Amino acid sequence: MQEEKKPLRVAIVCDPLYKWGGAESHLRYILKTFPNSILYTAYCDNDFVSKYFSGIEIKKSFMQYLPGKFKLRYFYQLFQPLAYKTFRFKEFDAIVSISIGFAKFVKGHIPHVNICLSPPKFLWEKDSRTLNEINHLTGINKTLFKFYSFFMGTSLEDIWKKWDRDAARKINNIAAISYVVKRRVKKYYDIDCDVIYPPVEVQEIQDSTKGIKKESWFLYLGRVETYKGVELAIRAAYEAKVPLKVAGVGDDLERMKELVKELNAKGYVKFLGYVSDEERIELLAKAKALIFPVKGEDFGIVPVEANAAGTPVIAYKDGGVIETISDSNPKSGEFFDKYDYKSLAKILKRFDGREYKAETCRNQSCNFASNIFVYKLKRYVEDIVKERNKS
């Protein structure tokens, strides 16, 4: 009688846990893939993990006991490489880390697979992302950010980059979340890596949205941050004189509300604030189209969710969305090539939802279903461990 294969004992490592986003959704499915795992992180918000990761055994580093770790996060980021190096992994078969920061710095004498959301953007792509946000920070965060950014462009930044590159090159296997990220890994680390697309709850969304009728407004759904392009969407909607709903919260929300007042666009733009999971899925299903005005998005879960809800996507032709949305027959969306509000406004003015079939959008989303991710990641890690045990 053949002996039953023993499930892998996996240590899962992630960046600090304190707010919900695509990475945290991704993490839940990694934990689902390896149900007997233990989660390691530099620090976390206890209320947050109780809500979203209930029942998961979590190990924290010394950073959990630092005062004001959430308010002082820019300063404390300096300690994260050391925090992750302090972990020890006994009686595990493999390490699976997921990071856009320093979770990949963990060390062990067992196979280490890193799911790369992106090389850290504050180091490698700071001009397009993080440092541009300083004008929209206030109080102590702005002061600390200035202190933190003081080191950027100096020899200290070069040292950080070397540490980051060295840590990446010590990993056994890297799986990028898109071909966009795969190219960044090659560019910054000179590593050829694999691609495993993130999990999206396609089936759940499809089941809960069938029969919901379309309405005549466009939707922006996501965090309201400078780099997310919310201002572009608002200006385009006002230019095109079409209704736009903005669902989400973030550091740039108040500035966006002021912009709507300045434009006198209150009749066209409605802010919904925070929406629950049930509300966001209903919004995706009812919207005429989702507007996704983001530059260089690593993957982009929301556009796939929109397609799963039977809704087409209007996106800037850049980043991971090019890999997830089809703009040729059968179409699940369309792109604007020039990153300005007038280009987007032209599409909004002429957009005809009747050109899109809900079933076509749903079929496109099936390529990124969560069950595909679970199957691929499980096999990927098992094969790596098996190969290591042979040698």
What is residue 391's predicted lDDT score, i.e. its pLDDT? 64
Domain membership of residue 4 (yes or no) is no
DSSP 20-34: -SHHHHHHHHHHHHS
Q: Are residues 166 and 153 in the same domain?
A: yes
Query: Model's pTM, two decimal places?
Result: 0.87
The angle at the Cα of 244, spanning 239 to 250, to the nearest 5 degrees, equals 110
The angle at the Cα of 134, spanning 221 to 60, to the nearest 5 degrees, equals 75
Q: Are residues 78 and 105 in the same domain?
A: yes
The CATH number of residue 89's host domain is: 3.40.50
Domain membership of residue 1 (yes or no) is no
Q: Are residues 208 and 250 in the same domain?
A: yes
- Tell me: the pLDDT tens digits for 253-296? 999 999 999 999 999 999 999 999 999 999 999 999 999 999 98
* Better-scored residue on pLDDT, 172 or 153: 172
Q: Are residues 50 and 110 in the same domain?
A: yes
Domain membership of residue 336 (yes or no) is yes
Q: Are residues 291 and 343 in the same domain?
A: yes
Domain membership of residue 363 (yes or no) is yes
Q: Are residues 261 and 363 in the same domain?
A: yes
Q: Are residues 282 and 139 in the same domain?
A: no
Amino acid at residue number 8: L
Whole-number Cα distances in Å, 133 to 136, 221, 257: 6, 20, 17
What is residue 148's predicted lDDT score, i.e. its pLDDT? 53
Give residue 334's domain range. 202-367
Q: Are residues 251 and 264 in the same domain?
A: yes
- Mean pLDDT, residues 63-75 taken together: 87
The CATH number of residue 262's host domain is: 3.40.50.2000
Amino acid at residue number 17: L
The DSSP letter of residue 241 is T
Q: Are residues 37 and 183 in the same domain?
A: yes
Tell me how far apart the terminal alpha carbons of the chain are, to the nearest angstrom.
27
CA dihedral 37, 61, 72, 136 (to 10 degrees): -20
| Overall number of domains in the chain | 2
The Cβ of residue 200 has, within 10 Å, a number of other Cβ atoms equal to: 29
Q: Are residues 195 and 214 in the same domain?
A: no
Domain membership of residue 5 (yes or no) is no
SS3 158: helix
Q: Are residues 295 and 259 in the same domain?
A: yes
The DSSP letter of residue 136 is G
- Do residues 191 and 131 make contact, with C-beta atoms less than 8 angstroms apart? no
- Do residues 347 and 314 make contact, with C-beta atoms less than 8 angstroms apart? yes
Domain membership of residue 3 (yes or no) is no
DSSP 346-365: HHHHH--GGGS-HHHHHHHH
- Do residues 226 and 252 make contact, with C-beta atoms less than 8 angstroms apart? yes
In this prediction, residue 132 has a pLDDT band, given cuts at 50, 70 and 90, of very low
Q: Are residues 239 and 268 in the same domain?
A: yes
Domain membership of residue 2 (yes or no) is no
Domain membership of residue 219 (yes or no) is yes
Amino acid at residue number 311: T
- Tell me: the pLDDT tens digits for 86-99? 999 988 999 999 99
Does 189 score more than 80 pLDDT? Answer: yes
